[in-house]
Chains A and B, each alone.
Chain A
Amino acid sequence: MASGVIAGCMGALLGLGGGVFLVPFLNAWFGLDFKTAAAISLVTVIATSSAVSAGTTGRNLINLRLGMLLEVASAAGGVAAGVTISHVSDITLERGFAGMTAFIAVLMLTRLERRNVIVDTTVDPGTLGGRFHDDESGGEVVYRVRRLPLALFVSFIAGNVSAAFGLGGGILKVPVLTAWCGVPMRVAAATSSLMIGVTAVASVPIQYANGYVNPPLAGAAVLGVLVGSRGGLWFGARARSKWLKLLMAVVLMLVSLIYLRRTL
């Protein structure tokens, strides 16, 4: 339950499901096998998603259109995971994941100053872009979405990774959306939070039916995550997006090290 609190807090801050912390924790400390840990984590991802999204609505931060479009790819990734992942060994998957997270961490660090917001509000945001009130700029700002195919591709991979590792997939989507696709950090985090619930639901019912979800443990983890996400929302509203990105990069590095260590 305590790990759920930490996972929920990070999840709310960064638009992640928090599974990156919960899975290694349940796996290493509780001694649960990987599939059970991943399934419980996915259930908490749904809780984080619903709780955090409910807490961010009304501020125009969630990009509903972009989110729904990317959900097509991430849900397909989740459904396809069963097929694709059985052909790849666990160790290859974990090494690939470690390498990918390290790469994204470096990418985020090199783009800390890029905020993707256009202060000129007369600019047309396009169908997928949007506008929101940005405290850091002191007024309404506009952003435009670029490189949609890349965002779709990453969402598919995120859906795949989500089902395989018990994560929400935000850990891949948020950095790519902010670094390459023109989406501001807060919008990327809020949109990702909303999406991960659907990503998780694309694979968790099968794991539930297979008996990988232990109801009392899942219940405790979900309640912990719900408490933690309140804290994360509170911090998130007060933190600068540069620090959020720095935190994200640190988290990615840690995750990369955790998975790299597991494969050695």
Chain B
Amino acid sequence: MTGDRPQLARLEIHLGRLLVTGVTISAILLAIGLGTWLFDPHRASALLFLNAGLIVLMGTPILRVIVSFAEYVAMRQWFFAAVTVVVLIELSVTVLVALSKR
């Protein structure tokens, strides 16, 4: 099982890029939101930016699992693809419960 190490290393780099992008976008949104909020706490756009930042932040790990699934399928590593699907199912239970409460 050592022949697939380069593929795993590539997956690690892809996921790293994805995480950087997610964190950067959410940090920018949160900083804008926080700045606006400090200036005027009642402005609607402040909460809009803050909530958008939080949603991007929460979405990033979910997106990471989805990308991992796609790459394991591409590598034909069915066991780990299946493991990823189980994690996705667990996460979707939480998201569905959360959406039903809105």
B44 proximal to A (CB < 8 A): no
- Known contacts A126-B1, A201-B91: does B61 contact A49 (CB below 8 Å)? yes
Contact status A79-B61, CB under 8 Å: no
| 8 A Cβ contacts from A37-57 to B | 43, 46-47, 49-51, 53-54, 56-57
Contact status B34-A220, CB under 8 Å: yes
Contact status B61-A58, CB under 8 Å: no
Tally of A interface residues using CB under 8 Å: 50
B interface with A by C-beta (< 8 Å):
1-2, 5, 8-9, 11-13, 15-17, 19-20, 22-23, 26-27, 30-31, 33-34, 37, 41, 46-47, 50-51, 53-54, 57-58, 60-62, 64-65, 68, 80, 83-84, 86-87, 90-91, 93-95, 97-99, 101-102
A135 proximal to B (CB < 8 A): no
- Known contacts A46-B58, A57-B15, A209-B101: does B33 contact A219 (CB below 8 Å)? yes
Chain A contact surface mostly: helix
- Known contacts A50-B23, A68-B87: does B94 contact A202 (CB below 8 Å)? yes
A216 proximal to B (CB < 8 A): yes
| Chain A positions within 8 Å of B41 at CB level | 216
A226 proximal to B (CB < 8 A): yes
Q: Point out which of A43, A57, A127, A208 has the most chain B C-beta atoms below 10 A from its C-beta.
A: A57
Contact status A223-B31, CB under 8 Å: yes
- Known contacts A206-B101, A216-B34, A216-B37: does B19 contact A43 (CB below 8 Å)? no
Contact status B23-A226, CB under 8 Å: yes
Q: Which B residue's beta carbon lies closest to that of A72?
A: B86
What are 20 pairs between A and B in contact, CB < 8 Å?
A47-B23, A53-B19, A58-B12, A68-B65, A68-B83, A69-B83, A71-B65, A72-B83, A75-B87, A78-B90, A197-B61, A197-B64, A201-B58, A202-B91, A205-B58, A209-B101, A215-B33, A215-B47, A216-B37, A222-B26
